[in-house]
Amino acid sequence: MFTGIKSKLENLTEAGSLWSYPGYRLFWVSTTIFVLGASAFPIALAVTVIDQGGSATTLGLILGSRILASVIGAPFAGVWTDRLPRKQVMIASDLARAVIVFSMVFLSGPATPHVFLGLAVFLVGVGDAFGAAAAGAIMPSLVPDEKLPAANVARNIVVRTSTIIGPGIGGVSVYLIGGRLTFLFTAFAFALGTYFLNKIKEEIKSEPKERETFLTEMREGLRTVIQIPWIGAMIFMVSFQLMVVLAAEVVLLPIITKREFASNTPFALSAAAFSLGSIISAIICVKVKVKHEGHVSILVWMLVIVAPLALAFPISGTFIVIAYLIAGLSVGPWEAWWSTAIQREVPPHLQGRVFSIDHMGSTALMPLGMALVGPAANYFGERNLLIGASIFHVLMGLSIMRIPGVRDMKMPPKTIISESEQD
């Protein structure tokens, strides 16, 4: 048995395999440690705020401050990620978040106003923006281009798995040592991850460029997204779909399952099933080759409407869990091909800014959508809202199918030739 295990480990690290690249192995280990701590963080935060007598509104404002900071910080994060080695940006953002979360052990005392806790969470969100931009842009310097799909999926599998395991770790930690001391676990995980990041030898693939002003470089990133129409179109599409569809199901899932089945179990299992579905789908997408990655991604992404439609007709808890497993399959193509396409099509010196705009677009409208779910459900009714959101999702996907470059997540050859001729 041990001989077989040893043989499999040797195959994983043999020359040319994904895990044979030491920089990527270190990055993956660091990511694993970081996301486990990050997944426990919201549990500790929620318990701490509630234990201090905070209301649902207080908790919502504190959690929302993290998203707001991430959106505000994204354009700045993109510029600095393209100016500095991505490894340094990641180490700085992780260490900063470790220090901030450690300080929350003291800021979360009974006599401390919630505003200080909210400020700390806001600063964590700024770190999120820098970390997200750098993590996406560093990948091409760690593995060759042909390994990028597998590398992106392996990283995303860790993130998805953490959404299943992390809250459990956070819950156990809160039960054993309380919410405040669980912040120590999170801070330690953030700091430990930087130990492995520091060992990475980042290969800088782009030539140094003469530095422009900060605002000029920020505009250059936005101009890149506009000039490559498929990137701008797909970010636009997903931003509004997340605001309407995902916000509705995220808010209504715990409400409907608790009301219909008098239990939180379907809610917890549905969230885990969605993550499991996305992992399965991402692994499949790495293994299979499709002719038009963009169109396949959009069409498979339409499967996500199975979740809100199941909530519109909640036959049973098992029915909803299975629906969320199917809905999770919709995410796989994005995790396998989207980041890879940006890493392939966008010049290396611009990738940090493009990833930061992607991060900003993915999160900017979600708080607005979540805030509007309640009033919209009261006005239209839960079922009508969920059905309408599902229809909107499909129409948004169909609306961008014919935009140049969307079909293959790359600009058509004729477009590239015409641009070079103009130069």
Between 419 and 330, where is the model more confident? 330
> Half-sphere exposure of residue 76, counting CA atoms within 13 Å on the CB side?
11
How far apart CA 174 and CA 232 sit, in angstroms, is 42
Q: Nearest Cα to 42, choosing from 124, 155, 129, 160? A: 124
pLDDT, position 163:
64
pLDDT reported for residue 376: 87
Q: Which of 130, 124, 52, 50 is nearest to 90 (CA)?
A: 130
pLDDT bucket at 335, cuts 50 / 70 / 90: confident
Question: In 3D, which of 162, 149, 156, 160 has the Cα closest to residue 276?
Answer: 160
- For residues 80 and 218, the answer to whether their CB atoms sit within 8 Å is no
Task: Output the six-digit token pair for 16.
Answer: 């040319």
pLDDT at 323 over 90: yes
Looking at the predicted structure, is the pLDDT value of residue 6 above 50? no
Tell me how far apart the alpha carbons of residues 90 and 67 are, in angstroms, rounded to a whole number. 19
pLDDT of 14: 56
List Cβ neighbours of 126 (8 Å cut-off, separation of 6 or more): 69, 70, 72, 73
For CATH 1.20.1250.20, list the domain ranges present in the chain: 16-201, 214-423
Q: What is the pLDDT of residues 27-36, one digit of tens each?
A: 999 988 888 8
Contact status, residue 59 vs residue 114, Cβ threshold 8 Å: no
Say which CATH architecture domain 16-201 belongs to.
Answer: Up-down Bundle (1.20)
Instruction: Return phi, psi of residue 109, to 5°.
Output: -70, 160
Q: Could you give the count of Cα atoms lying within 13 Å of 397 in the half-sphere of its Cβ?
A: 22
The C-alpha atoms of residue 84 and residue 214 are separated, in whole angstroms, by 13
Residue 54: strand, helix, or coil: coil
What's the CA gap between 111 and 360, in Å, rounded? 35
Neighbouring CB atoms inside 10 A of 137's CB total 28
Residue 419: is its pLDDT beyond 70?
no
CB atoms within 10 A of CB 317: 17
Q: What is the pLDDT of residues 200-258, one digit of tens each?
A: 887 765 555 566 676 777 788 788 888 888 988 998 998 899 888 888 887 788 788 88
pLDDT at 2: 37
Burial label for 113, CB within 10 Å (0-12, 13-18, 19+), is exposed
Rounded mean pLDDT of 161-173? 69
Is pLDDT of 313 > 90? yes
Burial of 322 (0-12, 13-18, 19+ CB in 10 A): middle
Helices 366-380 and 247-261, axial angle in degrees (round to 10): 50
d(CA 76, CA 82): 10
Look-up: residue for tokens 């994204």? 74
Q: Which residue has the tokens 């997408």?
A: 285
Q: pLDDT confidence of 397, banded at 50, 70, 90?
A: very high
With tokens 């705020």, the residue in question is: 49
Tokens of 137: 């842009």
**Residue from 137, 120, 23 nearest 79 by CA:** 137
Residue 3: per-residue pLDDT: 46
Kindly report, residue by residue over 342-384, the tens digit of the pLDDT: 888 888 778 788 888 887 777 777 777 877 888 888 889 999 9
pLDDT surpasses 60 at 119: yes
Query: Which tokens sit at 248?
Result: 């509705």
Amino acid in the structure at residue 373:
V
- Integer CA distances (angstroms), 266 to 40, 43, 254, 350, 387, in order: 21, 19, 8, 43, 21
What is 17-49 written as a DSSP string? SGGG-HHHHHHHHHHHHHHHHHHHHHHHHHHHH
CB under 8 Å to 216, separation ≥6 — which residues? none
**What CATH number is given for 214-423 in this structure?**
1.20.1250.20
Per-residue pLDDT tens over the stretch 65-104: 888 888 888 888 888 888 888 889 999 999 999 999 998 8
Q: Using CA atoms, how far apart are residues 201 and 100, in angstroms rounded to an integer? A: 27
At 55, is the pLDDT very low, low, confident or very high (cuts 50, 70, 90)? Answer: low
